[in-house]
Amino acid sequence: MDRIFNIINLLLDNKEPITINDIANKLKVSNKTIRNDMEKVEELIIKKGLILTKKQGVGICIEGTEINRLELQKECLKGKKIIEPYSPEDRKYYILKRLFMSDENITIKELAEELFVSRVTIHKDIDEVETWLENYNLKLLKKTNYGIEIVGREEDWRNAVVGLVSVNKENDELRELLYDDYSGRIDYKTMVKLKELINLDYKQLERILTEAEEKLNFNFSDDAFISLIIHIAISIKRLKSNKDITLSSEVMEGLKKKSEYIIAEDIAADIESTFKVKQGECEIGYILLHILGAKMQQSKTIDENMNLENDDLSVSIAYEIINMAQQTLNINLNEDKQLLNGLILHLRPTINRLKYDLTLRNPILKEIKETYPELYGLAWMTSGIFEKYLGIRISEEEIGYIALHLGAAIERQKKPFSALVVCTSGIGTAQLLAAKLEKHFKDIEIKDIISLTALKEVEYKDIDLIISTVAIESDKPVINISPLLTQNDIKRLDLLINSLKNKSRKKTEDMIDFINDELVEIKASYRTKAEVITSMCNKFYSKGYVDQSFITDVFKRESLGPTEVGNGVAIPHGFSEHVIQSKIGIVILESPIEWSGGMVDVIFLIGISKTDLSKAKGIFRRLYNKVDSVMFLENIRKADSTAEIKRLLEVK
């Protein structure tokens, strides 16, 4: 509804007719959106005794007495005041959007009026905006009576816009930005965010890339296609503001030798013709880098035609990732050729992206974090490997994809439980029962079906459990079920399998060995995330548990992505290279504080040394399971002693 009032205010402020195009541009929405709003606009204007005059080829305006115009203006102000206020997080992204969209400086006063909050509130929001921008090496330039603007390298500016587009925030008002007949390859949320920031004809952009696919003789994956759309849209906006990007002459010379360079030139020429914006040589180079990265991801096998320097690097990094995973997870991954090949093929474009400051979009990052929290933590540790070889730490989007490769490898490691089916005769009903068991339980492998008499003559040392339709005794786990396999049987067997899985897991060291009383604070009164992290890290350092670089590591980890895991809990952590002795610090706050978008009052700081990496998975798993329990969190917030906290964590 607030956009309706904004349209009316624009019409009231302009004595001369204004076009739909002008209104759409001022409000940063599509023409279709404004046309859809006009019926409601006219309804409100007529109610106040005014007329909406439409002059073809000229524009629209409001006509009527000055008294009625003032009454309408008051109505608009009244309407705006009842709009639901923005949350702090929404204000942060609104301010970021305004800063990235505007070609001019924006004042604190303007933002306060637009968001219906005080200037003091905006100043607090600006602090959060600056923190967000720091992740992309950007800063805010603030001048009194002049306004604020984003400053930094052009590459970082563009990467930040990609990050802003990727923020999956729902906003009902933005739904109208999509044109009804759109049926292209860009997903809904991305299209909404893109059109909100950069209002282009995306059908034309899709046409340009689809034609390029035909010339390249291969199709981009959906993610690669969308990434290239986003890159081109941002470049068009920036070039119209005379902001171009640069690549070194050495890089450009190498790119010009690629056979695909001519296709990148064709894409650039089509962009120039369609959007009336000059594409320089470096912009063509960036388009080509996206194409090469996408093409490498299409490869299904390792071949000998790729750049050897990059190949050698991707192989070295892949082996180091596998070695770290083996040490941490305590499993053998050396024989998993699928993992090695998959990592090498993924790392080729990853290295390319990191070298040239390109961003990767990971639309399932949230799901990866929720499904594989332990593996995401392990994949995060591999950032040190990239820093070793490239001097760069990877983003959480890249980390998410590495976690998927490791997750798939672990799934391949899982072996089904071998079972023996025992029946009175071993014929007929036993065969039917075995078929039903294999249908319902994918993690059970039926090794044999025998009669009760034959059981006494069979050696079954390699059997994990016995499923029997008659009562028997054995030193192996036994479950008695009906030959018909009832629903109750299925539930009981499911419970037994889960119990066997838990027993088969290697027992991890209790967390009590990592928790010292001096590292636990109860009812603490910190005001900011930085205060908590600094205090906890300083305690680790003062006791000799970590070296001086640990605190820098923890803050770097925070810059890659929030360690807030939900339910008011955060689990910051640092790299093992800077941990001398593994420890866990715990802080329970008196009042929650803001932590990268969420409110947090329970903090676990984790430092795992290299010698304890094999225990990391168990620690992270147990901790994540614990903080997922509402009852556990209620009790730990009420705890009044370190002993009580240890008891709640189920330690000795």
pLDDT in tens, 598-640: 789 999 999 988 777 767 766 776 777 787 777 888 889 999 8
Q: Please tell me which residue, 309 or 190, carries the higher pLDDT value.
A: 190
φ and ψ of 569, to 5 deg: -120, 140
Least confident of 229-233, 425-429, 503-507, 512-516: 503-507
Q: Give the best-scoring range by mean pLDDT among 196-205, 362-371, 414-423, 585-594.
A: 585-594
Q: What is the mean pLDDT of the chain?
A: 80
What secondary structure letter does DSSP report for 479?
E
Task: Look at residue 446 and tell me whether its pLDDT is greater than 70.
Answer: yes
- Mean pLDDT is lowest, of 92-96, 508-512, 619-623, for 508-512
**Position with higher pLDDT, 490 vs 194:** 490
> Nearest 10 degrees: CA dihedral of 574, 576, 580, 585?
40
Q: Of all residues in the chain, what percent carry a pLDDT higher than 90?
A: 16
More confident residue, 194 or 261: 261
Window from 249-263, 361-375, 488-502 with minimum mean pLDDT: 361-375
Residue with token string 């474009």:
349
Among 332-341, 454-463, 504-513, 548-557, the range scoring the smallest mean pLDDT is 504-513
- Most confident stretch, 157-171, 263-277, 280-294: 263-277
Which carries the bigger pLDDT value, residue 78 or residue 584? 584
103 burial (CB, 10 Å; 0-12 / 13-18 / 19+) is exposed
Q: Are 533 and 607 in contact (CB under 8 A)?
A: no
When mean pLDDT is compared across 69-73, 117-121, 309-313, 411-415, the lowest value belongs to 309-313
pLDDT band at 524 (very low <50, low <70, confident <90, very high): very high
Contact 185, 222 (CB under 8 A): yes
- The pLDDT of 255-278, averaged and rounded, is 92
Q: What is the pLDDT of residues 312-343, one digit of tens each?
A: 788 899 999 998 888 777 678 888 888 888 88
Least confident of 67-81, 152-166, 620-634: 67-81
Identify the band that residue 181 occupies on the pLDDT scale cut at 50, 70 and 90: very low
Q: What's the pLDDT score for residue 131?
A: 87
For the chain, percent of residues with pLDDT exceeding 70? 86
Domains and CATH numbers, the chain: 2-81 (1.10.10.10), 88-152 (1.10.10.10), 172-298 (1.10.1790.10), 308-395 (1.10.1790), 417-503 (3.40.50.2300), 511-648 (3.40.930.10)
- What is the pLDDT, as a whole number, of residue 81? 43
Give residue 425's pLDDT. 59
- Residue 177 banded pLDDT, cuts 50, 70, 90: very low
Most confident of 54-68, 163-177, 416-430: 54-68
Q: Can you list the pairs that 503-511 forms with residues at least 24 positions away whose Cβ atoms lie under 8 Å?
A: 506/330, 506/618, 508/615, 508/617, 508/618, 508/619, 508/622, 509/612, 509/615, 509/618, 510/651, 510/652, 511/584, 511/619, 511/622, 511/623, 511/649, 511/651
pLDDT at position 170 over 50: no
Interaxial angle between packed helices 20-27 and 2-13, expressed in degrees from 0 to 180 and rounded to the nearest 10 = 120
**256: pLDDT strictly greater than 80:** yes
